[in-house]
Structure 1
Amino acid sequence: MTEFATMLAVTTIAGALTGVGAVPVFLRARVSHRSYDAALGLAAGIMIAASVFGLILPGMEQGTLAGVMTGVFLGGFVLLGGNRAIPHLHARYVGWRREGGSLAATDDDPAIASRARRALLIGAAIVLHNAPEGLAMGVAFASGLEDVAMLLAVVIGLQNVPDGFAFAVPVGETGISNVRVLVYTTLSGLVPQVAAAVFGFALVSVATGIFPLAAGFAAGAMMAVVFREMIPSSHGHGYADASTAAFLVGFVLLVIVDELLVI
């Protein structure tokens, strides 16, 4: 199997793991605010640890501190810029078609419309931060850093599960079918990660030594997502302690995975 084929297979699996997060909703299990907030906290902990141990430190080993930190700032501010654009992009959304064709418009069913908007906003955020992660994996594979790339694939795959859960809950509440919930959730992680990985792989052919900048970019984008979106979203229902505990579990889990892969 060629390096490109390996990259394509690994990033596809990592991206598709987003769909696993839809399983509780797919089964129509009751999801409490505590569980939802804890899932966000878990994903946030994994993402912060991945930013440091899977991206920033390997980037500094391959390049300079200045190069990686430049990437961190670029990634963070690009994410913040995209975040400002997303609400305006989706503010014109007015409804969602339930299974069977009935239209849940804002005037007819404001609760469903609100959930649909929330699902789109969360999905857009997932797409926004999955792209730089995929970019980092593609650049790592193309640069011959297979160990780094595999670590990124593992931690990003782990992080994609609670990401998918956070996306699937509001999507499932709109009343669409189980199959569509699963498909939409899977695609929210699969498409941007694979597309960005292919772009990153191709980018190395015209710009060698770009991994430190790409790694910093992905780390900056991930940290911006955590502090701008995930932590505030997980602290609005009275379960901040559960979310914080899950954050610590996610952080420690990633560190353990990192050490096991190194050994």
Structure 2
Amino acid sequence: MEQLVVGSLLSALATGAGALPILFFKQVTHRWRDILLAFTAGIMMAASTFSLIPQALANERLIVVCLGVLTGTILLTLLESVIPHIDLEHTRANISMDSQSLLILSAITLHNIPEGLSVGVSYSSEQSGLGGLIAFAIGVQNAPEGFLVALFLINQRVSRFKAFLLATLTGSVEIVSSFAGYYLTSFVEGLVSYGLAFAAGAMLFIVYKELIPESHGDGHERSATFSFIVGLLVMICLIRWFG
């Protein structure tokens, strides 16, 4: 339980850590933004395919794992259909500042729920170190997300400190959802493997639908590709050493 508390807090607060530079810097180049997003994609790809899915397969039938991955993917697809995707840096929607800011914060908060569930489910697994690895992967993903949310809010004339606080709060929902995932899999027998597969599906959706396309949208595909590979290798090394 203590490890769950620490892991969920660190992964959630990584959103605030990512937003912290916004107090000092207002802009980030497209090149570095794409590199960070691609590195994050590599981390999450390795966590899903080399940790979550193999662990789920080791404890459950193939059909259960396939259903879990599909469920995670479908859930995020439904969330995206309800909450429209808005480019955090190139928004031109004709709505008021307050409404637009609320829409962004709501979308990010809802998308953080499956990530928190992933952390909680991973800590329920019998595999030593899996929870910490997934918490790290989610935290790495949250950092650039927090920065981009804070940057968007500043561009909407929200004060820097308020933008930092709001970006940090979007990650707090992961603490609640991580505990929900942990207790749900702890009390329902056989749900851990399904939960791990669900988490993998949700993370793979984020990688392919959001992170990779975003990192290739400004003409820095080659740098982003190398950054993706580096992120993948970093996570594989961590899984090898601590998994």
Instruction: Report the counterpart of residue 12 of structure 1 in structure 2.
Output: 9
Deviation of residue 80 (structure 1)? 1.0
Kindly tell me: are residues 142 and 259 of structure 1, through their superposed partners in 2, closer, same or farther at Cα, counting changes over 3 Å?
closer
Asked if 1:27 corresponds to 2:24, the answer is: yes
Asked if 1:214 corresponds to 2:195, the answer is: yes
Deviation of residue 65 (structure 1)? 2.2
Deviation of residue 33 (structure 1)? 1.4
TM-score by length of 2: 0.85
Letter in 1 for 2:69: V
Kindly tell me: are residues 152 and 58 of structure 1, through their superposed partners in 2, closer, same or farther at Cα, counting changes over 3 Å?
same
TM-superposition CA deviations, 1:82-139 (whole Å, max 9, x none):
11111199x9983235xxxxxxx9xxxxxxx6xx48xx44x55543443223213223
In the alignment, structure 2 segments of 5+ residues that lack a partner are: 87-91
Rounded Cα–Cα distance in structure 2 between residues aligned with 1:48 and 1:240 = 18
Deviation of residue 21 (structure 1)? 1.2
Pairing of 1:69-88 with structure 2 (within 5 A): 69-87=66-84
* Identity fraction in percent: 33
Kindly tell me: are residues 54 and 15 of structure 1, through their superposed partners in 2, closer, same or farther at Cα, counting changes over 3 Å?
farther
Rounded Cα–Cα distance in structure 2 between residues aligned with 1:92 and 1:24 = 26
TM-superposition CA deviations, 1:183-234 (whole Å, max 9, x none):
122222232x111111112213441121111111111111112222222222
Kindly tell me: are residues 216 and 128 of structure 1, through their superposed partners in 2, closer, same or farther at Cα, counting changes over 3 Å?
farther
Instruction: Report the counterpart of residue 136 of structure 1 in structure 2.
Output: 118
SS in 2 for 1:87: coil
Asked if 1:165 corresponds to 2:147, the answer is: yes
Instruction: Report the counterpart of residue 41 of structure 1 in structure 2.
Output: 38
Rounded Cα–Cα distance in structure 2 between residues aligned with 1:201 and 1:241 = 39
Rounded Cα–Cα distance in structure 1 between residues aligned with 2:158 and 2:201 = 35
Kindly tell me: are residues 251 and 165 of structure 1, through their superposed partners in 2, closer, same or farther at Cα, counting changes over 3 Å?
farther
In the alignment, structure 1 segments of 5+ residues that lack a partner are: 98-104, 106-112
Pairing of 1:63-102 with structure 2 (within 5 A): 63-87=60-84, 94-96=95-97
TM-superposition CA deviations, 1:147-196 (whole Å, max 9, x none):
211221222222222232333332232222222222122222232x1111
Rounded Cα–Cα distance in structure 2 between residues aligned with 1:15 and 1:219 = 18
Q: How many residues of Structure 1 are paired with residues of Structure 2 in the alignment? A: 238
**Paired residue for 1:148, among 120, 130, 134?**
130
Rounded Cα–Cα distance in structure 2 between residues aligned with 1:92 and 1:34 = 25
User: Higher Cα Rg: structure 1 or 2?
Assistant: 1
